[in-house]
Structure 1
Amino acid sequence: MNDVVNLAEKLAQFSEHWSPRVVAELNDYQLKVVKLQNSFVWHKHDDTDELFLVLQGAMSIRLRDGDVSLQAGELYVVPRGVEHQPYAEDECHVLLIEPRGVVNTGDAEDTRLRADNDRWI
């Protein structure tokens, strides 16, 4: 793909929360935009780190040993194997960077918020 990707335009194309959309690929990694609001499920990814870059709004990533607060323009990498729960009081727009095929709910048994993989926009 050699096209310029406008993240704001991509985010304007959907309204669902916790439903990441792939906007680009880099080697074996996917860049995904997602809208967050309220709490996600506690989960972990045993085989990969997960990067959250806040594009608009604010969010927290709850960890078992404390919370990480992020504002627009800030990023945080959740290390592999670390349980976490993303949370945003108000709608927040985020860019995720993770390997292709990663399930958004990780190892969580609660699959109500599980999103389809490789959903391009």
Structure 2
Amino acid sequence: MPLIPLTAIAAQLPQAWTSQIQAHVGSTRIKVLRMDSCDYPDETHDYAEGLLVLEGEMQLTVQGTPVTVAAGELYMVPAGTPHAVAPGSHGTLVILDI
């Protein structure tokens, strides 16, 4: 697999919170996006989702509980769990759809 410059790719994406698939490992999708300070509404998936912050931090609300994910941290959202982005996030996020 070639080298993938995730932070450089995220910086060039035209719109925040719009992910782009970079690779597949088995059935897992590896996506990258650029975060901004806007919130993003509740969503639920039928698969687990890993949220890995490369730069900056992500403000989440998971089942109504605030969670901060800092650079270098991974938050695992179990399948079927409602979660939303709270205002104040910024940086680069890798999403693992597992």
TM-score w.r.t. length of structure 2:
0.88
8 Å Cα contact 1:36/1:87 also seen in 2: no
Is the counterpart of residue 57 in structure 1 residue 56 in structure 2?
yes
RMSD, aligned CA = 1.5
Count of paired positions: 97
1:1-121 matches, cutoff 5 A? 2-37=1-36, 38-45=38-45, 47-99=46-98
Q: More strand by proportion, 1 or 2?
A: 2
Equivalent position SS for 2:41? coil
8 Å Cα contact 2:10/2:32 also seen in 1: yes
Aligned mates of 1:90, 1:68 — CA distance in 2: 11
> Which structure's CA Rg is the greater one?
1
Superposition deviation, residue 12 in structure 1: 2.8
Superposition deviation, residue 77 in structure 1: 0.5
Identity %: 26
CA offsets, 1:18-55, max 9 Å, x none? 1001111101111100112211111111x211110001
Q: Which amino acid aligns with 1:53?
A: L
Segments of 5+ residues of structure 1 without an aligned counterpart are: 100-121
Alpha-carbon distance change, 13 to 52 in structure 1, aligned in 2, over 3 angstroms: same
Alpha-carbon distance change, 59 to 90 in structure 1, aligned in 2, over 3 angstroms: closer
Equivalent position SS for 2:67? strand
- The list of structure 1 runs, each at least 4 consecutive aligned residues, that deviate by more than 2 angstroms after superposition, is none
